[in-house]
Structure 1
Amino acid sequence: MKVGYQGNHGTYSEIAALTYFEGVEFEQVGFRNFPSLFEALDQKEIDYALIPVENTTTGIISRTYDRFRDYNIYAVGEINVPITEDLVVCPGTTVDEIEEVYSHPEALSQCGRFFAEHPGCRSMAYQDTAAAVAYVRQCNDHKKAALASWRAAEYYGMESLLKSVQDSTRNMTRFLVMSHTESVAEDADKISMMFILRNHSGALYNVLGILAKNGIDIVRLESRPIPDTPFQYMFYIDFKGNIRNREIRNVIHELDVRCEYTKVFGCYKSHENIFRK
């Protein structure tokens, strides 16, 4: 079994894969970017892909969500991974020496307070968190640092000078476990789908009303612009339910009738928020 993710050793995508498939033997396959990851899954070169879709600090990760409509892939699970960004440096580096801090743009945006408190440090976007650590190690320059996981620091033999510098102590990223084959577990309790509204007054109200009248709990709702169709939007919605249930299938059919386009791209077991008491 092959499991793919964006990035190399030490990324949170790798941590998500290792955690979700704990106890299962599988081959890890790292990809340089999301387009190549999505393409590999769609072409069945890998069996599963871990895709980050949402962060508790910065919200939806649009560069992944926007690709779901272009591929016949399906969410079969999810996992919420705590994100703690360490300031990773070459051993012996002091904070006062650092001028440039490299990391993935998402990680940089999650550490705004650190940069406000250290105005001499410039944020430098890099392809992913672990690759940023590898780059700093290669440069062997005390003026450079990276924001990354403790796992990346450990893997590359670097030092975590400051630990957990992210803005929120409850910072988490939600990953969908995607497959090229649709599969619905008996205990699945969450549905992800996309839809485009018909262009008339009250269209969104009517669609949400279908879910409300059937007592269905909406977990999240997002809108994203449709490329090449100015000022029109695709909606992504997660709600509670299992498509094995006839009542849920009837609701989805009603949504299909009301909308210009619908697509269910996953029904899976939700992962509990570990911070919830």
Structure 2
Amino acid sequence: MKKPTRVAIQGIKASFHEEAAFKFFGNDIQTVECSSFKQTCEVLENKEADYVIMAIENSIAGSLLPNYTLIREYNFAVVGEVYLAIQLHLMALPGVKFKDIKFATSHPIALRQCVDFFYDFPHIQVIEGSDTAACAKKIKEEQLTDTVAIANTLAAELYGLNIIERRIESNKKNFTRFLILKDDKSEQVKEINKASICFQVSNHVGALSKVLNIFAEQQVNLTKIQSMPVLGKRNDYYFYVDVEWNNMEGYDKAVRQALKYTVNFNIMGEYKKNDKV
């Protein structure tokens, strides 16, 4: 019997990372729970997982900058992406009524995304937790009848909680982008039309513009650019860029030309665009 694909996630079962993993790989996978993003990388490096799924940006909270550093330092290959709509629900033990609620708990980012809802209920004390699903699990395990968790439907189903208020997030168009990582850059992904690259440029006027124009001239679309300082080096930056193309030849030509004007040029991964939310 074929063993299920092992996917390392930050958080526990029914977290948004697991939901994103199911969306990308399907439900017949084995998720490996990790307490931090760094631990997911260690698990993959030690071959205790086949893939890592890692959040890289949120439409409200922005980029998760430390994760760019992890991908580069561990030299993992980006082999895919998946977007997940972040829908947040209020859930409690069966039988608990809204009037019984004294506390609401969730991940800090999830709580911030629901401030408008709680503005109308100042008597509810908001408590930060380590993970959305972990907060739901705690309510189940400790039988908390005065507390609600803010999490996804997966958590409600897994931990036997009732959803007493749906979609309490302030922005209904909130989504998170996740990258799929593998510890093998030699494996080729079929039907590639997107890439994540990283490089440095010299510190003079027009250096970055020169590189970006190379991609534009070859009809390669830059969908994202993110800069991060190089530790210990003033005025030196890593630039993380996502590019898409319709013509593979144009992309290859752009990369060859960009190599002449960059330092530490690294193709972090080439994969198939997957931006459906």
- TM-score scaled by length of structure 2: 0.89
Q: Which runs of 5+ in 2 are unaligned?
A: none
Q: Is 2:102 the partner of 1:95?
A: no
Where 2:214 maps in the other structure, the secondary structure is helix
Q: Is 2:65 the partner of 1:57?
A: no
Number of residue equivalences = 272
Q: How far did residue 207 of structure 1 move?
A: 1.7
User: 2: CA distance between counterparts of 1:228 and 1:119?
Assistant: 45
Q: Is 2:222 the partner of 1:223?
A: no
User: 1: CA distance between counterparts of 2:166 and 2:234?
Assistant: 44
Q: How far did residue 179 of structure 1 move?
A: 0.6
Where 2:274 maps in the other structure, the secondary structure is coil
User: 2: CA distance between counterparts of 1:238 and 1:186?
Assistant: 18
Alignment correspondent of 1:167: 170
Alignment correspondent of 2:253: 250
Q: How far did residue 46 of structure 1 move?
A: 1.1
Q: Is 2:187 the partner of 1:181?
A: no
Alignment correspondent of 1:105: 108
Q: Is 2:150 the partner of 1:147?
A: yes
User: 1: CA distance between counterparts of 2:123 and 2:232?
Assistant: 41
Report runs of 4+ in structure 1 exceeding 4 Å deviation: none
Q: How far did residue 271 of structure 1 move?
A: 1.0
Q: Percent identity?
A: 29
Where 2:13 maps in the other structure, the secondary structure is coil
Where 2:67 maps in the other structure, the secondary structure is helix
Letter in 2 for 1:94: K
Alignment correspondent of 2:118: 115
Where 2:26 maps in the other structure, the secondary structure is coil
Q: Is 2:25 the partner of 1:16?
A: no
Q: Is 2:245 the partner of 1:241?
A: yes
User: 2: CA distance between counterparts of 1:239 and 1:116?
Assistant: 40
- The 3 A distance-change label for structure 1 pair 113 and 225 is farther
- The 3 A distance-change label for structure 1 pair 145 and 216 is same
User: 1: CA distance between counterparts of 2:111 and 2:33?
Assistant: 21
Q: Which runs of 5+ in 1 are unaligned?
A: none
Where 1:256 maps in the other structure, the secondary structure is helix
- TM-score scaled by length of structure 1: 0.89
Q: How far did residue 231 of structure 1 move?
A: 5.2
Alignment correspondent of 1:206: 210
Judge conservation of contact 1:134–1:156 (CA < 8 Å) in 2: yes
- The 3 A distance-change label for structure 1 pair 139 and 110 is same
Q: Is 2:101 the partner of 1:84?
A: no
User: 2: CA distance between counterparts of 1:160 and 1:229?
Assistant: 50
Alignment correspondent of 2:69: 66
Letter in 1 for 2:209: Y
Where 2:225 maps in the other structure, the secondary structure is strand
User: 1: CA distance between counterparts of 2:163 and 2:52?
Assistant: 29
Q: How far did residue 129 of structure 1 move?
A: 0.9
Q: Is 2:8 the partner of 1:4?
A: yes
User: 1: CA distance between counterparts of 2:118 and 2:268?
Assistant: 38
